[in-house]
Amino acid sequence: MQTEKQSISLTKKILQAISDASLIPFLAILTAVVLGGIIIYFVGGNPLLAYRGLLEGAFGSTKALSETAVWATPYIFAGLAVALAFKGGLFNIGAEGQLAVGAVFSALIGYALPEWLGFDLPTIIHLPLAILVGMLMGGLWAGIVGWLKAYTGGHEVINTIMMNYIALNTTSFLLNGIMKDRSPTNVIARTPLIAESARMPAIFDGLRVHWGFILALLVAFFIWWLLNKTTLGFEIRTVGLNPDAAQYAGINVKRTIILTMALSGMLAGLAGSIEVTGLNYRHELGFSIGYGYDAIAIALLGKSHPLGIVLAAFLFAAMRNGASRMQFLTQLPVDLISMIQALILLFVAADAIIRYIYRIKAKGERVVLTRGWGG
Amino acid sequence: MKKLYFVMALLIVASMILSACGAGAPTAADCAKEEVFCVGLVTDVGKINDKSFNQSAWEGVQKSNTDGVADVVQFIETADAKDYAKNIAQFGDAGYDVIVTVGFGLGEATAAAGLTYPDVKFIGVDQFQAWQFTEDTADDSANVTGLGFPEDNAGFLVGALAAMMSESHKIGAVCGTDVVPPVWRFGEGYKAGAAYADGMNATTTEVFVVYHSDVGFDKTFTDPEWGAQTAKSMMDQGADAIFGCGGLTGNGAITAAAQAGKYAIGVDADQYLTLPEAAPRMLSSAMKLITPGVAELIAAAKDGSITAGNFTGTAGYAPYHDLDGEVSAEIKTAMEDINAGLLDGSIKTGVSPVKP
């Protein structure tokens, strides 16, 4: 009897916690959608038709669902990357660049390794290798910033932005140069197609959703486990909340900062690797633009919780994916989607507005997402 | 009381949204019907109003609408290259009759969609259909038409214009590598046009055409510094009109010419609109006339005369814009005559399709 009561109250507590955590984001989304509708109305569109298009485009058919999952996959990885850094008290704005680094190296391993070796590799070796190299290079790229932060105090916000420029321009240089697809009719900056053995299979025939999506969900669970059930996760969170206290408690703060950044970069690199091996089978300059920045929004909206990030990634994916259907039905510019996304973020970030509109009292302590500029 | 205000506000918003309901006419819904002729356009990554290929192609689609050829026209802007196939499918699944895809980047997605939607006619702007020239028939397409352009005619027009406008009788062209056939045709057309103008006016114009063939493919179109340097050395030798043909390399040359106060001549689209730093001195541009080309192909798709493979559209030259006052009436008339001659075939550029 006693234990049953306890378990009921525990379930209740968990449900309460979930609803507390999701209330503000939910209301923010609702408010943004209503405001977006008003804006659509004023630019001469039909808000209901627009939202119908958005929903149809995102969920209206198996193909639409598959495409939403395709969009969600890199968002989950990149969102986790930013969130993990948040937890460690670091603001990783460099997911965009780390993603590009991961994509470039996965593509390189994907198309060039069989040439270098002179023989074809089996999928069971080639594919994991391509993903692993991309992931590790993303981690290395971000790890440099972590090292700079730990040993020189260089602020990670500045450095990740700078590293983005280096990564993206180097990518452009490589894709226009030594890594460019040499087929005679090609004029655009892209790598050759990766070998069949480096490609991730689709889950269902005829749909583009691939095993990378499942991997993304597994990794989200892994990150939750890492953060909450392991010593390393505890150290990351402790350093994130208060590095001085962490130092005093005997945690190697410098090592933790570097590790956090490297892990974050590995997740972002993974986003790029999976896009190459699972979806595009090459890297091209037009692919994956802005995912690293969307990821910051996703991490904020998901309150840096892996489950929240999966949900937020789905929301963003649905909006991005449904956008073409929306434009098809209404001829409204796809930029409206970015605007609604921005409104959602605005309301999540400035939750006082939402609390004021809906008369919700602040409960408990505020979640500290990241420490300010003072570091 | 405050709550009441809030409820009222919500009601007002709701009524606004509901009132908007009846407005939209779902014309696209009729595209599955045989008698409704629908044309959809998918842009390359970028906006519909890019003042370049996307916009010109969309204007062509709109023209087919106002001409009464197409009943419903619609576009989708591609935000990410991975959406190419999905955006094409929006139109394919809705029963559109013609789908226009803009730019080389959509080539593969268009070819694939051609197989998925065998009843739809595809128009690929700037998509060279290589299968037409291969022995292998396995990848032959039955419903994809690539819209290309006679670059030699475009080069011919601006070459003649440059020769007529030049006071020093020295003109230059800075181009990408001549290994790429369209670039070769632009450059050689330019020479031929200048020679034609000389024949008309009994002048002797010295033409410098330099191809950036000394570097690899990675560099030849993306070297504005080299373009500017080459243009400067031409101007040092007295050239007072520079034609830039070859991506950023050409843009470097055009900009250098404009900064030196010489005549700058653009390529592909009307670069007066896309290269603001050179606009004040932009004499004209060697243009691929995408708008009429697209409209023509849509009309051909409707009456069934369209054929898969490569279709050659028409070339032209851009308006003089700011320099309109400097171009004399005689030269304007001469340009119109040359253009007409190229169109009706009485003037030939004599340029071979590829570098021999």
Model confidence pLDDT, tens digit, residues B296-352: 999 999 999 999 999 999 999 999 999 999 999 999 999 999 999 999 999 999 888
Taking the C-alpha atoms of residue B70 and residue B58, their distance in angstroms, rounded to an integer, is: 13
pLDDT of residue B22: 40
Residue entry with tokens 């606009």 = B279
Whether residues B86 and A38 touch (CB distance < 8 A) is answered with no
Q: What is the pTM of this model?
A: 0.79
Residue entry with tokens 């932009």 = B282
For an interface test with A, give the residue of B19, B41, B83 to mutate (most A CBs within 10 A): B83
Chain B residues with CB within 8 Å of chain A CB: 3, 6, 13, 16-18, 20-21, 23-24, 26, 28, 40, 44-45, 74-77, 79-83, 86-87, 89-91, 94, 104-105, 107, 128, 130, 216-219, 222
B256-262: list long-range contacts, CB under 8 Å, 24+ apart. B256/B227, B256/B228, B256/B229, B256/B231, B256/B232, B257/B231, B257/B281, B258/B282, B260/B232, B260/B235, B262/B235
CA distances from A201 to A77, A241, A270, B80, B180 (A): 19, 41, 17, 22, 37
The partner residue sitting opposite B82, judged by closest CB among A41, A178, A287, is A287
pLDDT of residue A374: 37
pLDDT of residue B26: 39
Backbone angles phi, psi at B147, to 5 degrees: -95, 110
Render the burial of A86-111: b for 16+ CB within 10 Å, e for the rest.
bbbbbbbbbbbbbbbbbbbbbbbbbb
The partner residue sitting opposite A34, judged by closest CB among B13, B86, B128, is B13
Q: Find all residues with CB under 8 Å of A153, minimum gap 6, and list them.
A: A375
Pairs of residues, one from chain A and one from chain B, whose beta carbons lie less than 8 Å apart: 94
The percent helix, strand, coil of chain A (3-state, each to 5) is 75, 0, 25
For residue B21, list chain A residues with Cβ-Cβ distance below 8 A: 46, 48-49
pLDDT of residue A363: 61
The partner residue sitting opposite B76, judged by closest CB among A38, A63, A324, is A324
Neighbouring CB atoms inside 10 A of B310's CB total 17
pLDDT of residue A258: 97
Per residue of chain B (356 residues), give pLDDT as tens: 555 566 555 555 554 444 444 434 436 668 888 889 999 999 988 788 877 788 889 999 999 999 999 999 999 998 888 889 999 999 999 999 999 999 888 988 999 999 999 999 999 998 888 888 777 777 788 899 999 999 999 999 999 999 999 999 999 999 988 877 888 999 999 999 999 999 999 999 999 999 998 877 667 777 889 999 999 999 999 999 999 988 888 999 999 999 999 999 999 889 998 889 999 999 999 999 999 999 999 999 999 999 999 999 999 999 999 999 999 999 999 999 999 999 999 999 988 877 77
Q: Find all residues with CB under 8 Å of B341, minimum gap 6, and list them.
A: B347
The partner residue sitting opposite B130, judged by closest CB among A177, A185, A288, is A185
The partner residue sitting opposite B105, judged by closest CB among A37, A286, A325, is A286
CA distances from A47 to A60, A132, B9 (A): 18, 44, 17
Taking the C-alpha atoms of residue B92 and residue B318, their distance in angstroms, rounded to an integer, is: 35
Sign of CA dihedral B294, B296, B300, B303: positive
pLDDT of residue B128: 83
CA dihedral B276, B280, B281, B282 (to 10 degrees): 50
Q: Are B320 and B165 in contact (CB under 8 A)?
A: no
User: Which CATH number among 3.40.50.11710, 2.60.40.10, 3.30.470.20, 3.40.50.2300 corresponds to the domain B151-287+320-344?
Assistant: 3.40.50.2300
For residue B222, list chain A residues with Cβ-Cβ distance below 8 A: 176
Q: What would the 3-class secondary structure string for chain B be? A: CHHHHHHHHHHHHHHHHHHHCCCCCCHHHHHHCCCCCEEEEECCCCCCCCCCHHHHHHHHHHHHHHCCCCCEEEEECCCCHHHHHHHHHHHHHCCCCEEEEECHHHHHHHHHHHHHCCCCEEEEECCCCHHHHCCCCCCCCCCEEEEECCHHHHHHHHHHHHHHHCCCCEEEEEECCCCCHHHHHHHHHHHHHHHHHHHHHCCCCEEEEEECCCCCHHHHCCCHHHHHHHHHHHHHCCCCEEEEECHHHHHHHHHHHHHCCCEEEEEECCHHHHCHHHHHHEEEEEEECHHHHHHHHHHHHHHCCCCCEEEECCEEECCCHHHHHHCCHHHHHHHHHHHHHHHHCCCCCCCCCCCC
pLDDT of residue B7: 58
- Beta-ladder partners of A177: none
Residue entry with tokens 């002048």 = B203
Closest residue by Cα to residue A319 from A76, A56, A62:
A56
Largest Cα separation within chain B, whole Å, is 90
Nearest-CA distance from B14 to chain A in Å? 9
Nearest-CA distance from A23 to chain B in Å? 19
Taking the C-alpha atoms of residue A265 and residue A82, their distance in angstroms, rounded to an integer, is: 9
Whether residues A328 and B81 touch (CB distance < 8 A) is answered with no
A58-64: list long-range contacts, CB under 8 Å, 24+ apart. A58/A317, A58/A318, A58/A319, A58/A321, A58/A322, A58/A325, A59/A318, A59/A322, A60/A325, A62/A207, A63/A207, A63/B89, A64/A321, A64/A322, A64/A325
Chain A residues with CB within 8 Å of chain B CB: 34, 37-38, 41, 45-49, 63, 67, 70, 176-178, 180, 182, 184-185, 187-188, 275, 279-280, 284, 286-289, 320-321, 323-325, 327-331, 333-334, 357, 359
Give the domain ranges of chain B.
34-148, 151-287+320-344
Q: B34-148 architecture in CATH?
A: 3-Layer(aba) Sandwich (3.40)
- Beta-ladder partners of B284: B265
The stretches of A43-94 forming alpha helices (DSSP H) are 47-59, 62-87
Per residue of chain A (375 residues), give pLDDT as tens: 555 666 677 788 777 877 777 888 888 889 999 999 999 999 888 999 999 999 999 999 999 999 999 999 999 999 999 999 999 999 999 999 999 999 999 999 999 999 999 888 999 999 999 999 999 999 999 999 999 999 999 999 999 999 999 999 899 889 888 898 877 667 778 899 999 999 999 999 889 999 999 999 999 999 999 999 999 999 999 999 999 999 999 999 999 999 999 999 999 999 999 999 999 999 988 787 889 999 999 999 998 999 999 999 999 999 999 998 998 888 888 888 888 888 888 888 787 888 888 888 766 545 555 544 433
Whether residues A287 and B81 touch (CB distance < 8 A) is answered with yes
pLDDT of residue B139: 78
Taking the C-alpha atoms of residue B5 and residue A292, their distance in angstroms, rounded to an integer, is: 41
Whether residues B20 and A34 touch (CB distance < 8 A) is answered with no
Count of CA atoms in the C-beta half-sphere (13 A) of A335: 6
CATH, domain range A16-358: 1.10.3470
Whether residues B216 and A177 touch (CB distance < 8 A) is answered with yes
pLDDT of residue A373: 44
